[in-house]
Amino acid sequence: MWPVKRLYGALGLVGTVVAWWVLAETVFADVGVAPNGQGGTIPNPAEVVGAIVEVGPAYLYRHISVTGLEALLGFAWGVGLALVLASVVVLAPRLEGFITLIATVSYCIPVVAIGPIVRIVAGSPKPGEPSVTAVFLSAMLVVFTTVIGTLVGLRAADTASLDLIRVYGGGRWKQFVLVRSIAALPGVLNALKIAAPLAFLGAIIGEYMGGVDVGIGPALVNAQQTLQAPRAWAIALVTGICSGMGFVVIAIISRFVTPWTRGTSRSEA
């Protein structure tokens, strides 16, 4: 028997698809009808699935693999920087204000404002190479979330364990290695679950800035310019599934890396 949460999730998914289909055939049926016979700007689910079949897996893989690589690189750079910044805050508390400011600025600056600047500085990538702009924006969207999640986890360490390390002559570094790093794992992994889809989003926005011919960004632009609404929706849907897979993969890893949190989450539910 399915758990209640999974049953509600399945029902919610089915309800969303049904509502989408009904609205596409009624309220939005005549909105933005394209002159090339591809339908309106809000296609129904059958038209979107048909567009996925039409473009084929090779087309989707060609574009998603490029964007996925850029997102993975940005995710790695952003997470690495965030972990270093959060660790420095714990080891050198006097730098907390400065580091928190850096993380906040990375979150507050609009990517559409910083993107063109990075695009001008980095230039266009060589054929076959990932876009520096896409990687940079992907990393930028990851930093703040990971810094905050890591800090929360590092500061959730058991006070008695920290005091024990101090009594035996250990300093902040010993506390960090033996206690805080382990206590921070649930918080870090929760932050990474949120950061994974953000990294994919940052890569797509970076591709929108231009300079690349292959990727989700150029594919969406091409579909929009040629008034192929079902194809645009199909690419967006597949992209959402791929970015969601990042969340799922990290969630699965979290279950094995932090097994002690399973009982807590069940009791809270």
**pLDDT digits 0-9 by tens, 89-142:** 888 888 888 888 888 888 888 888 888 888 888 777 777 778 888 899 999 999
CA–CA separation, 192 and 141 (whole Å): 12
Whether the CB-CB separation of 246 and 79 falls below 8 Å is answered with no
Residue among 255, 253, 80, 258 nearest 153 (CA): 258
Encode pLDDT of 237-261 as tens digits: 888 888 889 899 998 998 888 887 7
User: What backbone torsions phi and psi does residue 152 show, to the nearest 5 degrees?
Assistant: -60, -45
Q: What is the pLDDT of residue 82?
A: 93
Q: What is the pLDDT of residue 269?
A: 43
Burial of 175 (0-12, 13-18, 19+ CB in 10 A): buried
pLDDT (average), residues 168-191? 86
- Comparing 56 with 263, which gets the higher pLDDT? 56
Q: What is the pLDDT of residue 1?
A: 46
Alpha helices in 34-184 (DSSP H): 45-91, 96-108, 111-122, 132-154, 159-167, 172-175, 181-183
Question: Could you tell me the sign of the dihedral formed by the alpha carbons of 177, 179, 185, 188, in that order?
Answer: negative
CA–CA separation, 11 and 18 (whole Å): 10
Encode pLDDT of 148-161 as tens digits: 999 988 888 888 88
Max mean pLDDT among 36-40, 54-58, 79-83 falls in: 79-83
Return the amino acid letter for 175. Q
Does 268 score more than 50 pLDDT? no
Residue among 246, 218, 208 nearest 62 (CA): 218
Q: What is the pLDDT of residue 225?
A: 81
Encode pLDDT of 23-52 as tens digits: 777 766 666 555 555 456 778 888 888 888
pLDDT (average), residues 172-184? 86
Whether the CB-CB separation of 85 and 99 falls below 8 Å is answered with yes
- Comparing 55 with 266, which gets the higher pLDDT? 55
Q: 0.85 cut: is pTM over it?
A: no
What's the Rg (C-alpha) of the chain?
Answer: 22
Relative orientation angle of helices 216-225 and 185-208, to the nearest 10 degrees:
40
Q: What is the pLDDT of residue 76?
A: 94
With cut-offs at 50, 70 and 90, classify the pLDDT of residue 13: confident
pLDDT (average), residues 51-63? 87
Q: The domain 37-263 belongs to what CATH superfamily? A: MetI-like (1.10.3720.10)
pLDDT (average), residues 179-187? 88
> In the predicted model, what is the mean pLDDT of the chain?
83
Q: How many CB atoms lie within 10 A of CB 25?
A: 11
